[in-house]
Structure 1
Amino acid sequence: MPATKSNCILAQDAGAIARAADVVRAGGTVAVPTETVYGLAARADRDDAVAAIYRAKGRPDFNPLIVHVADLAAAERLAVFDATARALVGAFWPGPMTLVVPRRDEAGLSAAVCAGLPTVALRCPAHPVMRALIAATHLPLAAPSANRSGGVSPTSAAHVVASLGDRADLILDGGLCARGIESTIVAIRPHGGWTLLRPGPIDRDAIVAVLGAGNEVAAHGGIEAPGQLASHYAPGKPVRLDALAPEPDEFMIGFGAIMGAISLSSSGDLAQAAARLYACLHAAAAAMQPRIAIAPVPDKGLGLAINDRLRRAAA
């Protein structure tokens, strides 16, 4: 289906949120900005609405969805929060942290949201547009990234248009996403345990500062949350990591002192690199060169999350 801007409206428009809420309540999909990336939102309590997300994304049905809620009270109507989960909520919600917690039997969520798992991935976003949409619908919203499954995540409305076109019923244009990479995902285990399932804007050190390292548990190995597929965030071309210079057939993405056709951050700022990561991958995907080379990024702090995405893009 060809890309179009006919379904794209400014989130700042007075009637935009009301119009988007009507689409969601009717079972449709709305691409909406969050502080991390743009999400494709639909009501999480109806099978047909969740199926519309899967159809739009071409997403495998074994990959669970993140459900976005207004606050802890809304989250507790869907899942069980122990002291460990509450500690993380107190430290990081609203914000770019998703918690995988035991789902309540009476949650009323579509079974496809949890992909057959007894848990649900919940996040309370900080972005004012997403928060306004949740408030206007009074619904929990399933919202994976607003792009074709496995592709590069969108950090602007233009990225959504290029990837999904009319597959999204409506696109709220809220400008560029500030964080630029998907939320940190933490699974809550029995007896106070926790597992970092996906690195993100909130790094492990920040989590350990709240919970301590003593109860950290290794991952189970299966798919428990979004973003765990070995190949993900792919730009559709071969990717070579830790490149110091480009080959003749490569589009070079630089970092720090290593220059390229485009740079994650010429100053070596990891926060800027995270915010620009997907924009750079989109530019590389659109370039004439058939291959992509990416300069080394330090594997520390926010660099851990950046390199996680780059390794999956290159897989």
Structure 2
Amino acid sequence: DPLGYPDGPDAYQYALGDPVNKVDPLGLYSIEVHFYMTFFLARIAGIGEEEALTIALATQFIDHNPATAPIPALAWRLLSPTAIEDHNNRLRLYHFMEGLTNSSSSLDGRTHNPQSAQLTNLRSASTRAPTPCARAQLFGEFLHAFEDTFSHRDQNNMPIGLNIGQVVPGVAAGHILYGTSPDRTFDHSSIFSPLALQRGVWFNNESRTLRMEQEVFAQLSSYSGRAFLHSTTGRPIENSETGLALTYQDLFDDRLSTGGGWLVQWNRLQSTDEQIFFLEEKIRVLGLGALPLYSVRDAAERRNRFLCSLRQADYPGTILPVC
């Protein structure tokens, strides 16, 4: 990396060398959302296995790519002005959307239909891509930013901004002073946190995670044009345990009387391992193959292969690979 990290070019330093199981304290959804849930929703939306994998890898790799991942907080005080500008730009383009608006101003509605000029830039980049592979790659990168608009919120679902200078002068801190509470998919209490902004009861996490899943599914369905249809057979996706075609209610039902749909149940799980196992089982009973493992190497290789031929000037609001 041209910025130079204090302990060498470790792309995973932000996660203590374990990008699969550690959460970035800067505040980012973890792998269970950006990779595994994205892949699951893509398959339900009728996207083929290989294309769904490209999209999910691209969505997660934004947090692992040295060109797009936030610079670790431990390095902030060592950064040059140029490095600070680069870090802030990464957050602005892929992690914290400025000028974020929503379709409703009610408490629950703050997570409905997030929009911003930068989200439009990222979505348009995918639309303009010259090949199906580049389109899938850039769509996944758009989804990363789109998904983060749901997690980067406080206890009352109000968006958290870049917060430049909150910790180190000039450096965008995101929601580091809220701890990892905004990114958790389940409701929880953090009343004893040493971080004042994190303290309290986080009772909106499950509802806004469900809204994220609904809206990401809508984006993927629009992308594919064939939601709930098997990508190979073209027939409705069936649950082998019931013999019935999968429905929207099966996934997103939030009625207390029914115990909730699959994703309502998933959002209550508090272990990443349990969440991944849950999705593995659902993929299996739907006859949609297997849930793949995340590979940083595969994600990096696909990004270079699919995007290296693109000109940066043609894709404003993105950070393309320099090959």
TM-score band w.r.t. shorter chain: under 0.3
- Flag the structure with higher strand content: 1
TM-score by length of 2: 0.28
